[in-house]
Amino acid sequence: MVILTALGIILTLFIGIVNMIYSILNNKKTRFINTVTTSRITWISELRGYISEYISLIPLNGDIYMEKYSERNIFFQSFYRKKLLVELMLNKQDKFDKRILDTVTKIYNFVDEIYKCIDLMYIVKLPYYRELDPMGMEITLKKLIQGLDNNTAIIIKEKYIDLLGITENNDKDNVISMDARMMIYTCETKGIHRIFDAYRICIDKLIEELNHEIKNIVDVCQQLLKKEWDRVKVESEKGKCTGNKKKKLVYCITRQFLVIYCSGFIILIVAFLIILFH
């Protein structure tokens, strides 16, 4: 009779202990899931806001770039800040995040190249340019030309050739064989005005490519946000994080082992005490 009573007490203790441990672990897991889900929703909202603000700063066409040329320093301060905010929200190891990061950088570089072309168009309007001596002006011009991306310099060269309508093989070959930056420098120093038109056409070409990248970042963001939002809904419904399967398996096995181990250990102690005092 005493043994049956002891077994009943042990069984009751076992059930109570298992239930208590399970409740503690489950409550911790639930709180963790709620925290992660809330954080992810906040992250989605903030990322969407930062990207939309980043894109909204970009002028729509070449005329607006030129109208706001005098405010370019203020523009780039704000533009670069938004770029950093987007980059800090993303993980370059993630496939979708990396695509967004790459596109954000491309967009920034396109805008930068557009303003470099405008610098060459409005070189005489640069605040310090008129105060320079001839040598300083030449150095400044070379610096601006060298600062152009290779692709931008090639576009300017191609558009310049098209504008001149060079058709004779000898002349065309001579121009084509020239380095793009050297050709731009030659046109600037010789006062060939058609180079100004080539800059403007190049700007329009860069804006066209820029708009393509903007469309890309919108598409990728939609995919990323949909993936993350679906993940939030799954976690909210199932009450568990979706992520690395191996880590989840290890976590579950470890948790079950701890429950069984702790319960068994406590049962042994209780049984020992009952036998000892009996």
For range 97-102, the mean pLDDT: 90
Residues 6+ positions from 163 with CB-CB distance below 8 Å: 194, 197, 198, 201
Give the residue from 42, 66, 8 showing the smallest Cα distance to 200: 66
pLDDT in the model for residue 76: 94
CA torsion sign, 122 to 124 to 129 to 135?
Answer: positive
Whether 57 shows a pLDDT value over 80: the answer reads yes
Contact 82, 135 (CB under 8 A): no
Whole-prediction pTM: 0.70
Which strand (E) or helix (H) includes residue 208?
helix 194-238
What span, in angstroms and rounded, lies between the C-alpha atoms of 87 and 66? 28
Q: How confident is the model at residue 132 (pLDDT cuts 50, 70, 90)?
A: confident
Token pair recorded at residue 244 = 């690395």
Q: What is the mean pLDDT of residues 77-95?
A: 91
| Highest mean pLDDT out of 12-21, 25-34, 149-158, 160-169 | 149-158
Contact 233/241 with Cβ under 8 angstroms?
no
Which alpha helices (DSSP H) does 57-193 contain, by range? 62-67, 72-88, 95-121, 134-146, 150-164, 169-177, 180-190
Q: Which residues contact 121 (CB under 8 A, 6 or more apart)?
A: 66, 196, 199, 200
Torsion of CA 204, 191, 109, 223, to 10 degrees: 10
List the domain boundaries for the chain: 1-39+245-278, 57-242
Is 274 within 8 Å of 13 (Cβ atoms)? Answer: no
Amino acid at 99: R
Q: Which of 149 and 127 is assigned the larger pLDDT?
A: 149
Tens of pLDDT along 27-44?
Answer: 666 665 666 667 777 888
Residue 166: half-sphere exposure toward Cβ, Cα within 13 Å: 16
The structure tokens listed for 117 are: 């072309």
* 189-242: pLDDT as tens digits: 877 767 888 999 999 999 999 999 999 998 888 888 788 777 766 766 655 555
Largest separation between any pair of C-alpha atoms in the chain: 116
Cα(9)–Cα(5) distance, integer angstroms: 6
